[in-house]
Structure 1
Amino acid sequence: MGNPVIWHKQTCSTSRWVLGVLRDAGLAPVVRDYIADPPSGTELRDVLARLGLDARGLIRRKGTPFAELGLADPGLSEDALIAAMVAHPILIERPVVLASHGAILCRPKERVFDLFPRAQQVWSQRQGS
């Protein structure tokens, strides 16, 4: 994987902030509108493994059909939760950044610096000017 990939939603301020930080650091991230181009179940499982999360750790509750779909039920299997995210990609928390050296869910947004420390240096310098 060359350039990092960001699972992005343009209307999300956190996602826009992370994308801006990556670009300001001189990176050329591949922007994936994961709502228009949702991941498959296999891809989602692979990303969850890279993130070190289970499906519940990547489910977004706010502004989604989480409650209506009954996803708070602790008896739901990992497969059922992944199937729900595939069918309703709005359930996937954002932004997710994937790079050759790691992957991270940028919640809070500053977690992007854990994956790209140089981006923090650039960001800090720009904040000071």
Structure 2
Amino acid sequence: MPSEFVLYHNNRCSKSRAALEWLQTRGIEAEVVRYLDTPPDLAALHEIFRKLGVASVREMMRTKDDLYKELGLDNPDLGNDALLAAVAAHPALLERPVLVTPEKAAIGHPLENFEALV
């Protein structure tokens, strides 16, 4: 049976490692997706966006990352579909860590954001 929780994780990120520890100390088993090795497809990104309940895809992107600016993603004329396509093509743009449940999702900045999901 698949886990109720999915953690989009980057092991090189201290915040993401802290999120994994946060889950483990609470006895919460999560499917861990190393999204740089196994990137979510466009449909999965749409679902994460929907579950986050945010107005703009930028809220789930690493907007301070050099790649974001290099790709011209700071252009205010770009809509959510274009931004999701960019994340699908460049998974490093996905903010991390992201915890997803069947109904909702949260970005672990700060980790306390996960409290509403457990």
Name segments (4+ residues, structure 1) moved above 6 Å: none
> What TM-score does the superposition give when structure 1 sets the normalisation length?
0.82
Counterpart of 2:44? 43
SS in 2 for 1:65: helix
- Relative distance call for 1:74 and 1:95 in structure 2 (3 A) is same
Aligned counterpart, 2:93? 91
Larger Rg: 1
Aligned partners of 1:82, 1:65: CA distance in 2, in Å? 14
Alignment of 1:19-58 (within 5 A): 19-53=20-54, 54-58=56-60
The share of aligned pairs that are identical, in percent, is 36
Does the C-alpha gap of structure 1 residues 101 and 49 become closer, same or farther in structure 2, counting only changes over 3 Å? closer
Give per-residue Cα distances to partners, 1:61-102, cap 9 Å, x unaligned: 234400100111000121111111011000000111012353
Alignment-derived partner of residue 12 in structure 2: 11
Distance in 2 (CA, whole Å) between partners of 1:101 and 1:71 is 28
Return 5+ residue gaps in structure 2 as ranges.
none
Gap runs ≥5 in structure 1: 117-129
How does the TM-score come out when normalised to structure 2?
A: 0.89
